[in-house]
Structure formats: C-alpha cells, structure tokens
Structure 1
Amino acid sequence: MNTRVCAGASCSQEVTIPSIRRPEVQIIGSRPARKSTTRIREEMMTKVILLVLVIAAAVWYFDFSRRMTDASIRASYQAQIDALGQFDAEPICTAMDDSYTASVTVRGSDSTPQKTHGKAAACATWTKAMHRLKLLSERTGGMLEPDFDFEIKSITLTPNHKSATVEISSAMRLGNMTLSRSQSIEHLIRRNGRILSTGSEDTVWVYQGE
C-alpha cells in the first residue's frame, strides 16, 4: 500500500507501507455437543425396558411355558377327543413328543400280546384307524359311528408342574358293540406352551362283541 506523507503544504515522497494481513485461523475440529440430561435418561429408560422384556421372555420360556395345571391337561385331552369325533388323527399325532414310546399289552386278541412302538408307528396306527372308521360312517350314512368313552382317573403333577403322570380309562364302541377297552398310564411334559406325551404303558382288551 502507498502512502504520501505531508507536513503543512509540502508533501514528501510517497512511502510504501506494507499491508498487514490477519492470520488465518484453521479450525481443526470441534467437540460434539453434550447430550442433554433428558436425552440420556430417555435412552437409559429404553435400555431398562428392553432388559425387562428379555428377562420376562426368558422366564416365560424356561418356567411358565413349561408348567402344567390340572385344567390345562384336561383341556388337552378334550381337544384330542373332539378330534376323534371328526376322524382326525392329526391332533393326537402332534400331541406326541419326538421321543414318544408306548408299551402296549393286548389281551383277547390273536395279535402280538405285547409290543413297543414310537411316535411314527403310533401315529400311523391312529391315522389308519380313523380312515377306516370314516369310510364306515360314510358308507352307512352315519348310522355306524364310533363312540369314545374317556375318563381321567388321576393326574399327578410334579412339584414344579413341568411334568405329569395321568391314569386313563377308555373304551370304543360301535353302535351297541364294544370294540375295545384300555387302561393307560401316560407321561406328559410341557414345551413351548404345548402339552406333549413322552410315552405310555397301555393295556388293551379287544372284544368280538358285547
């Protein structure tokens, strides 16, 4: 920058005065704004709620979902009886645990007096029997349909209500003819909210007619 120096009327030679630049300030970074106390509390409450939900789900799965009551056991059997009235073996099959094993003693028949079968064989037997009974009902116009008598003699629950032993008496009739009677002791568990049978000891009496 050029500047002329004057004193009164006379002025001296122009003098060049260098201009002064302001130093540039470079912002390397800035600190993030602190979260408000309210925001922090909201986040903490959200985490606490999620933790409570996880704990509640775990308790339900490992405890309440595996508990049984006298009423829930009876309701489970009633659902199976209702399915038999519709010639539907599926609810009976799904009520068997994968580990299901039944020991069956047959009396009054030419068949094998005692045998043991697993879930697949038991389900196949029920499915075949329901198919035959349904055909019989359809061919007779509903005049011949099976009647099932089912009585729960006793229910013994373990202290933690996660398993039970049930004593059952049942009979199947076709018109005035009794086809079979049975006495069973069944072992139940509850898994994922469902009551399942892990096995049974059955004694079956087969009749030609009564």
Structure 2
Amino acid sequence: MAVQTSNPDQGSPGPPFFGPDAHYKDWVSQLDSLPTKRATVREAAPTDADARRMWDLQAACVPLVPQVSSENLSAITSKLVLIAEVDDVHVGFCIAFIKEVSSAPIFIQAVAVAPQAQQRGVGLELLLAVAGRAPERDIAMATQDTNVPARTLNERFAEALNSEIKRVTLGTYADADLAIRRGQGYRSWRIQRPG
C-alpha cells in the first residue's frame, strides 16, 4: 500500500501513456485551490477519463508509478477501484482486490492521495468505503518499513473499525494479492474484523 509525497516532475515515456500535459497542469492548478469540503467517494468506471484520473494521481504520488491507460482500465475492470473527489476534482484513489472466496480478506493494494489533499481524511474515507463493501471480511495490506504515513493511516483505519492491526508473516498472502514484490522492504498486516 502506498501513501505518497509529491512527485511533480515524473514524466511519461509516450503513447499509450498519458503525460504531464495541459490537462495535468490544469488538474494541479485545481488542486492548489481546493475548497475545504469533505471528499466524496465513488467507484471508478471503466472509462478513459477514470483511467486518466488514476494516472494523474499516480504521477503526483510517490512511490506509485504511472501506468499506461490499458493497465489502469484493467485494474478498474478486475478489481475494486474507488476514486475520491472534491467538487469533481479527483484527489485520491484506492485499489482493492476482493476474492470470490468469502473467507479471504479484502486486499488493499494501493492508496493514493494528492499532496494538496492530504491531512483531510481522504485516505481514511477511501479505506472505510472499501471496508464497507465486505464488512464481514478481514483486511490485509502491506507497507514498506520506510513508509511511516502509510503505517499511521493503517493504524487509524484499524481504530476506526474498532479493531487492531497486527503484523503477519510475509508469505501468508500471495504477493500478487497484496500487489508487492519481495526484496523491497514490505511488511504484511491484517486487520481482523470484530464479529
């Protein structure tokens, strides 16, 4: 799971990638003048527009890497992708994987919040919206040891669910379910839902 810092200079290698074009610059300008309203959360639609919204956030949020449009569209169609918006300006997204097996946890794979929208509860709103999709399931995630903001968010998330977050042995869950690669300092976590 990624919670990020600003990365305005990250570019794009060209089609079929999006790039830091006029659209991206306009979006950043909108972020700089966001009202102090609470974000709304909706499910992403399998459209080029929502794939682009994901790219914008991936470009603005480290350690995420901007994905080609087809990869973002694939995520939208095969996983649960939620987008947070303030006045129709996209400010965050969450990618989760929910297996058909009811005993499997919800796997939180990524959380991204634009730097200008951080410290407003957007990440927590996204996580709670995901948790609400399958309230009977536990939640699994992985964070890098160096990603203190993600660990802090996870702890607040567990507290909001009236639960605790506990470390589990790496390998308890498939790396693909957590969307991680070994050797990058990840630790696995589980939030057991009261029930």
Q: TM-score, normalised by structure 2?
A: 0.28
Higher relative contact order (CA 8 A, sep 6+): 2
Structure number with the higher strand fraction is 1
